[in-house]
Amino acid sequence: MKPYLEMSVEELTKELKSLEAQYKKVQAQEMHLDMSRGKPSQEQLDLSMGMMDVLQSTSDLTCEDGTDCRNYGQLTGIKEARELLGDMMENNPKDIIIYGNSSLNVMFDTISRAFTHGIMGSTPWCKLPEVKFLCPVPGYDRHFKITEFFGIKMIPVPMTPTGPDMDLVEKLVSEDDAIKGIWCVPKYSNPQGISYSDETVRRFARLKPAAKDFRIFWDNAYGMHHLYDDHQDYLIEILAECKRAGNPDLVYKFASTSKITFPGSGIAALATSPNNMEDILTQLKHQTIGHDKVNQLRHVRFFGDIHGIVEHMRKHAEIIRPKFEAVDEILTRDLDGLGVGTWTKPLGGYFMMFDALPGCAKDIVARAKKAGVVITPAGATWPYGKDPQDSNIRIAPTYPTLEDLVAAMNVFTLCVRISSAKKILKEKQKEA
């Protein structure tokens, strides 16, 4: 089929009539499919059920250093967990704090402490006239919700195929001391699924921010989430690069096992410089005497070492890889050559990104919902939920069964074609 832009008014009218007839048949099926969030499927969760058996009432819950995991203590986490997460994050275990189940919660707390007590002696953000954050777009909606919650002004920075527009990032942070941070998902980014290039990471490490308390919030949520054994993205380790660049305190690096084991009961970690670590622990000691060490031990005993995590993630990939490939196949089959959108084909992570024609994203999502398919709200990938082009849509393939995903994507592409045909037909009729 030729591109919609090359069709005549008559051809487009005929095409639209056919598409709308198909849409009515789909509505009559009364589907109820949800692909709005990037959640692991039940099959993925089942992979970690053995974790429930590694500890029993008769188990020895003592660590190698003699720590009784049932009791208070170990503010930074047990030694074995720091070593396991250190290997996963490619960081020295001494530079890591193990938290509870959620890295998002750690990010929220980090922002909150900066507001109330400042960072390494700097003025608390709550006492400043304005606080700003750079937000690579499209980006992760929950990051944006944290900064919005605290009233931080969010400044969009365009994403490129190699990461954020670093010319703009360097310019903005060097000129404005009200800019205190930037959100980053550097590997298999949310929603594009791209990874930052070596040059991008090195430029981040060499930033010269006007604010002494500027920090890069490096959310490496998908560091282990490859889809293929033989074709994977590689990411330069940011803390080591910052140290080489003479900027050791520039980064807070976050990770967790949320999409490795159980999202509701994994373990999260923060890796950072010794100076940042000292600053954080000075405040953290008033918040808790230690996080859940029994759960930390459970993870260590289940995986054993980093090789256990690698093998475990291969099993995840076997489950979700066919889903990502199905999405790409359906988009290619139904939309390729029509000129109605573009999409990413990532090598890992949890998301794919679809860019519709400007002004169509909200209509596509609403139309899909009326046909029984729930997609991430249009605009969610932008600060304040406002996509200026109304074109970006996040696709989350992991949670539905393959059968349901295929059905949902068939509906999605139908809605894309209807919205696009209507937009182009309207424009052509105006020109006539």
Q: What is the DSSP string of 264-328?
A: TS--EEEE--HHHHHHHHHHHTTT-S---HHHHHHHHHHH-SHHHHHHHHHHHHHHHHHHHHHHH
36 and 75 both lie in a single domain: no
Per-residue pLDDT of the chain (432 residues; tens, 9 = 90+): 799 999 999 999 999 999 999 999 999 999 999 999 899 999 999 999 999 999 999 999 999 999 999 999 999 999 999 999 999 999 999 999 999 999 999 999 999 999 999 999 999 999 999 999 999 999 999 999 999 999 999 999 999 999 999 999 999 999 999 999 999 999 999 999 999 999 999 999 999 999 999 999 999 999 999 999 999 999 999 999 999 999 999 999 999 999 999 999 999 999 999 999 999 999 999 999 999 999 999 999 999 999 999 999 999 999 999 999 999 999 999 999 999 999 999 999 999 999 999 999 999 999 999 999 999 999 999 999 999 999 999 999 999 999 999 999 999 999 999 999 999 999 999 887
322 and 235 both lie in a single domain: no
Is residue 151 domain-resident?
yes
Q: Letter for the amino acid at 227?
A: L
CATH of the domain at 180: 3.40.640.10
> Among the three residues 255, 287, 304, which one is the final residue of a domain in this structure?
304
196 and 155 both lie in a single domain: yes
> Among the three residues 280, 304, 328, which one is the final residue of a domain in this structure?
304
325 and 253 both lie in a single domain: no
Quote the number of domains for the chain: 2
Is residue 191 domain-resident?
yes
Is residue 50 domain-resident?
no
Strand, coil or helix: 230: coil
Cα of 25 vs its chain's centroid, Å = 35
409 and 346 both lie in a single domain: yes
Position 431 scores a pLDDT of 85
- CB 380 within 8 Å of CB 141: yes
- CB 125 within 8 Å of CB 180: yes
CATH of the domain at 421: 3.90.1150.10
> Among the three residues 285, 304, 323, which one is the final residue of a domain in this structure?
304
- Tell me the HSE value of 385 on the side-chain side, using a 13 A CA sphere: 8
Neighbours of 196 (CB within 10 A): 27
- Owning domain of residue 294: 61-304
390 and 327 both lie in a single domain: yes
pTM of the model: 0.96
Backbone angles phi, psi at 354, to 5 degrees: -120, 130
273 and 412 both lie in a single domain: no
296 and 411 both lie in a single domain: no
118 and 242 both lie in a single domain: yes
What is the spatial distance between Cα 380 and Cα 144, in angstroms, rounded to a whole number?
A: 9
The CA-atom distances, in angstroms, between 35 and each of 135, 320, 352, 375, 397 are 24, 14, 12, 5, 7
Number of H helices, E strands in the chain: 13, 13
193 and 331 both lie in a single domain: no
- CB 196 within 8 Å of CB 231: no
Q: Letter for the amino acid at 352?
A: M
Nearest to 151 by CA among 175, 189, 191, 178: 178
What is the spatial distance between Cα 410 and Cα 283, in angstroms, rounded to a whole number?
A: 51
Is residue 204 domain-resident?
yes
The CA-atom distances, in angstroms, between 309 and each of 85, 191, 314 are 10, 24, 9
Q: Is the Cα dihedral 164, 166, 167, 170 positive or negative?
A: positive
The angle at the Cα of 108, spanning 374 to 125, to the nearest 5 degrees, equals 130
Q: Is the Cα dihedral 401, 403, 405, 408 positive or negative?
A: negative
Q: Are strands 341-343 and 352-356 parallel, antiparallel or unpaired?
A: antiparallel
Is residue 157 domain-resident?
yes
Position 173 scores a pLDDT of 98
Q: Which residue has the tokens 């980093």?
A: 306
Is residue 53 domain-resident?
no
28 and 100 both lie in a single domain: no
Helix segments in 32-163, DSSP class H: 42-46, 79-89, 103-117, 141-149
Position 1 scores a pLDDT of 78
Is residue 95 domain-resident?
yes
314 and 413 both lie in a single domain: yes
Is residue 258 domain-resident?
yes
